[in-house]
Copies of this chain bind each other. A is one copy, B any other.
């Protein structure tokens, strides 16, 4: 039988983007099989969605308690082994707690909990269990992020002496300046989102990445946050001075009012031998700066990459990972044609393209061999 890991999912139904992301990710290396879950608060919706994605009705549970009860009743080698939690933030803690207490491995979307207190509680439970727990700070999976971590760990930039991380977005700009909107957005409501908006949502990404890449711990911080309006209770921008292990100083800058920015997340770490920079919006490039040498631009999939990076690369050099999505779009177009929904030449290359392509090749060789003369391409 298949040795795939039996995966369950909580949340992520309907057209949830995060649901697609986790499902596709789970197929990437042929290690998981999605066996069931609870995808929507409504059981009917959940079943409908499950069927759409090829999960049969009996694998859909009305809630987490039912899931746990039913799965625990199964023999261990048929039981769900890991559960991904993609539900709204306030459910992360209770769900993760229950799963850990019942021996399930957990993959949990960020933020892991809504308070530090909850986080510590969860950690205590994890220590007593014998399970694997992951928080999906997704960016740490990029090949060049791993390359950067490993290069630093290998001493390739020497002793770290300066850290600078930026995560700038502009999305809250149209909301924050409208009194009605800033009152009604759940992101700006402490009841729903905890004590922080900007630092909580993206500052943590930067914080996590700084520790991941540098291998250093941040020991103390000094923050200047920005709320813009007196009636706004949640930070939407902030600069945080950081002091790390080995007296390394640095800064984390996060903003949701950097108008026009999308996800401009960059990390710069400088050592006494060299510096490294990475930018999330161009994740395949890693910049290596060294005194007296030309700037070097590292890319994934090369023999010069380290093991940790290569382990995260499926494609040969020069192919952005987005080609998976490009191929996915072609498959989608074909699906539509097969199901007689649409048959749009713009959505996938048809045989005419194949025919013309072959003709082009033969004619190019013919033109060349005839002494570089014009030849006609056949009409199709």
A173 CA to B275 CA, complexed, in Å:
11
Give the Cβ gap from A229 to chain B, nearest Cβ, in Å.
10
Closest to A247 in B: B228
Q: Do residues B283 and A333 form an inter-chain contact, with CB atoms below 8 A?
A: no
Closest to A196 in B: B361
Mark interface residues in A203-244 (1 if CB within 8 Å of B CB, else 0): 110011001100001111111111010000001011111010
- 19 pairs from A and B in contact (CB 8 Å cutoff): A2-B54, A17-B316, A20-B28, A29-B331, A107-B330, A115-B362, A122-B351, A123-B380, A203-B364, A221-B375, A223-B364, A241-B374, A260-B289, A282-B320, A312-B326, A312-B329, A320-B320, A322-B322, A372-B374
From the candidates B133, B174, B228, B329, name the one contacting A141 in the complex (CB within 8 A).
B329
From the candidates B146, B204, B225, B315, name the one contacting A357 in the complex (CB within 8 A).
B204
A146 CA to B322 CA, complexed, in Å:
14
- Tell me if A68 is interfacial: C-beta within 8 Å of chain B: no
Total identical chains: 4
From the candidates B115, B288, B335, name the one contacting A358 in the complex (CB within 8 A).
B115
A26 CA to B53 CA, complexed, in Å:
12
- Residues of B near A111 (CB, < 8 A) are 354, 357-358, 361
- Tell me if A128 is interfacial: C-beta within 8 Å of chain B: no
Q: Do residues A251 and B249 form an inter-chain contact, with CB atoms below 8 A?
A: no
- Tell me if A45 is interfacial: C-beta within 8 Å of chain B: no
Q: Do residues B119 and A355 form an inter-chain contact, with CB atoms below 8 A?
A: yes
Q: Do residues B222 and A372 form an inter-chain contact, with CB atoms below 8 A?
A: yes
- Tell me if A95 is interfacial: C-beta within 8 Å of chain B: no
Q: Do residues A51 and B335 form an inter-chain contact, with CB atoms below 8 A?
A: no
Q: Do residues A328 and B372 form an inter-chain contact, with CB atoms below 8 A?
A: no
Q: Do residues B328 and A170 form an inter-chain contact, with CB atoms below 8 A?
A: no
Q: Do residues A291 and B260 form an inter-chain contact, with CB atoms below 8 A?
A: yes
- Residues of B near A53 (CB, < 8 A) are 2, 30
- Residues of B near A253 (CB, < 8 A) are 164, 251
A322-340 residues with Cβ-Cβ distance < 8 A to B are 322-335, 337-339
Mark interface residues in A100-118 (1 if CB within 8 Å of B CB, else 0): 0000010110111101101
A199 CA to B30 CA, complexed, in Å:
34
The interface centre, meaning the residue of A166, A204, A323 with most chain B CB atoms within 10 A of its CB, is A323
The interface centre, meaning the residue of A143, A264, A364 with most chain B CB atoms within 10 A of its CB, is A364
Give the Cβ gap from A347 to chain B, nearest Cβ, in Å.
8
Q: Do residues A320 and B281 form an inter-chain contact, with CB atoms below 8 A?
A: yes
- Tell me if A138 is interfacial: C-beta within 8 Å of chain B: yes
Mark interface residues in A276-316 (1 if CB within 8 Å of B CB, else 0): 00001111100011111111111100111000100110111
Q: Do residues B321 and A321 form an inter-chain contact, with CB atoms below 8 A?
A: yes
Closest to A140 in B: B349
Mark interface residues in A154-185 (1 if CB within 8 Å of B CB, else 0): 00011001101010111101100100000000
- Residues of B near A139 (CB, < 8 A) are 323, 326
- Tell me if A192 is interfacial: C-beta within 8 Å of chain B: no
From the candidates B238, B330, B359, B364, name the one contacting A25 in the complex (CB within 8 A).
B330
- Residues of B near A132 (CB, < 8 A) are 334, 337-338, 343
Q: Do residues B263 and A318 form an inter-chain contact, with CB atoms below 8 A?
A: yes
